[in-house]
């Protein structure tokens, strides 16, 4: 890869291929939504290199992109099990940030890249880019209400350990400590912008249905619309044949979610005699499922959606986005993280229902499913959310916004 001298003019950089360092988080659900944008950057002639721990290397290989190792995995070897509390969770994030910062800053100071595309869950790349005076673009792949932090990881830890007090004030103090531990000076942004410290002040891509982003957007934010994506895969022929027989409901648990009400959903399907496919579950979860119900472990949701009429899920932003982009209503069973925000958003836009986990009995689930299938207001709300040109149009808008950063 050719390097650029610090004195080389960059005013017209967007008129030639950019060298982009993409730094995704290691969790698959966080990088799926940005893949269409990365692919569109490649089609536009820009050179993209993936940065991350070894587990991200398979992403790079599948997309035919070069991979740049990141030392954050080495930081993770110092920890065992889940964090033991709020402070322990934050200490781990500082260590991950320090490892990534130390790996990437020399590359950026050496002018090997023109721009950094970074997940704000992954602090090191954005901080390294700012320190090296390299433009960086962040992307938000979770649903936020506009009343909390743009730093989803800090907010999730705050909620998990039931912290009290002013979250923004505590976050501002922690962010100052993070910068200090990385050898950086004080944050240049004002205290009133503390809630958005994790995202780029220049450009932050808000990924998801265009009608859902909140009114309170961070500085530099652009809502680009839905970017649904699934890894390569196919639905087995036997399941595909079953899908053709009757209108179905897709029910999908989040990865590793132990409390998704599989048995209650199967009983609901039996009661109302509606076909249902339940994915993301152990095939032994429902011994002898009703004839209406098909259980599957992992299937590409984008290939299932053309066969179904409604979706019931745990509120993951990825599947919710895919469902609404397809113009279908969604029932949300929130289970923490940002899923309550997702449930609130679909209700506010009349495109789905909020199913309280405590009320997830077969009778209640059956009633919720019938509402999704028959309520004209909700079905009409879902149709209004449809983005038939997703993800191509959204990815095109994202590329144009990214190129404008260096224009």
Structural domains in the chain?
13-228+391-405 (3.40.50.2000), 237-385 (3.40.50.2000)
Q: Give dist(CA 354, CA 313) in Å, integer.
A: 10
Chain centroid to Cα 61, Å, comes to 21
The 10s digit of each residue's pLDDT in 250-277 is 999 887 677 899 999 999 999 999 999 9
The 10s digit of each residue's pLDDT in 35-68 is 999 999 999 999 999 998 888 888 899 899 999 8
Q: What is the pLDDT of residue 169?
A: 93
Q: What is the pLDDT of residue 10?
A: 42
Q: What is the pLDDT of residue 5?
A: 35
Q: Give dist(CA 228, CA 209) in Å, integer.
A: 10
Q: Give dist(CA 34, CA 344) in Å, integer.
A: 24
pTM: 0.91
More confident residue, 3 or 298: 298
Low-confidence winner among 133-137, 284-288, 358-362, 363-367 (lowest mean pLDDT): 284-288
Instruction: Grade residue 11 by pLDDT with cuts at 50, 70 and 90.
Output: very low
> What average pLDDT is seen over the chain?
88
Q: Are 392 and 36 in contact (CB under 8 A)?
A: yes
Q: Is the pLDDT of residue 6 over 50?
A: no
Here the tokens at position 376 are: 């004209």
The 10s digit of each residue's pLDDT in 196-206 is 999 999 999 99
Q: What is the pLDDT of residue 206?
A: 94
The 10s digit of each residue's pLDDT in 89-113 is 999 899 889 989 999 999 999 999 9
Q: Give dist(CA 102, CA 100) in Å, integer.
A: 5
Q: What is the DSSP letter of 179?
A: H
């Amino acid at each position: 890869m050719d390097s650029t001298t610090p004195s080389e003019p960059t005013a017209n950089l967007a008129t030639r291929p950019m060298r982009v360092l993409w730094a995704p988080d290691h969790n698959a659900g966080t990088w799926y939504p940005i893949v269409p944008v990365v692919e569109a950057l490649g089609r536009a002639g820009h050179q993209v290199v993936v940065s991350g721990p070894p587990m991200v290397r398979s992403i790079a290989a599948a997309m035919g992109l070069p991979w740049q190792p990141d030392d954050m995995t080495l930081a993770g070897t110092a920890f065992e099990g889940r964090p033991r509390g709020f402070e322990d969770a934050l200490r781990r994030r500082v260590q991950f940030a320090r490892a990534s910062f130390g790996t990437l800053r020399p590359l950026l100071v050496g002018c090997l890249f023109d721009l950094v595309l970074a997940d704000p869950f992954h602090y090191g790349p954005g901080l390294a880019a700012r320190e090296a005076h390299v433009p960086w673009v962040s992307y938000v792949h979770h649903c936020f209400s506009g009343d909390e932090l743009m730093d989803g990881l800090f907010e999730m830890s705050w909620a998990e350990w039931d912290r009290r007090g002013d979250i923004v004030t505590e976050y501002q103090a922690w962010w100052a400590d993070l910068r200090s531990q990385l050898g950086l000076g004080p944050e240049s942004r004002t205290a009133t912008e503390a809630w958005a410290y994790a995202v780029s002040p220049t450009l932050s891509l808000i990924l998801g249905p265009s009608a859902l982003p909140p009114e309170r957007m961070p500085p530099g934010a652009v809502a680009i619309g839905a970017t649904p994506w699934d890894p390569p895969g196919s639905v087995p022929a036997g399941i595909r044949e079953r899908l053709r027989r009757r209108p179905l409901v897709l029910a999908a648990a989040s990865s590793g979610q132990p409390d998704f009400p599989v048995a209650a959903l199967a009983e609901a399907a039996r009661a109302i005699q509606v076909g249902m496919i339940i994915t993301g579950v152990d095939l032994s979860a429902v011994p002898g499922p009703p004839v209406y119900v098909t259980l599957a472990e992992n299937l590409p949701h984008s290939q299932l959606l053309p066969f179904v009429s409604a979706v019931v899920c745990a509120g993951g932003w990825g599947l919710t986005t895919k469902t609404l982009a397809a113009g279908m209503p969604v029932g949300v069973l929130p289970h923490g993280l940002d899923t309550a925000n997702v449930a609130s958003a679909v209700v506010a836009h009349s495109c789905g229902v909020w199913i309280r986990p405590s009320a997830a009995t077969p009778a209640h689930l059956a009633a919720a499913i019938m509402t999704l299938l028959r309520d004209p207001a909700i079905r009409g709300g879902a149709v209004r959310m449809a983005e038939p040109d997703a993800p191509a149009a959204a990815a095109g808008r994202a590329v144009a916004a990214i190129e404008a950063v260096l224009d």
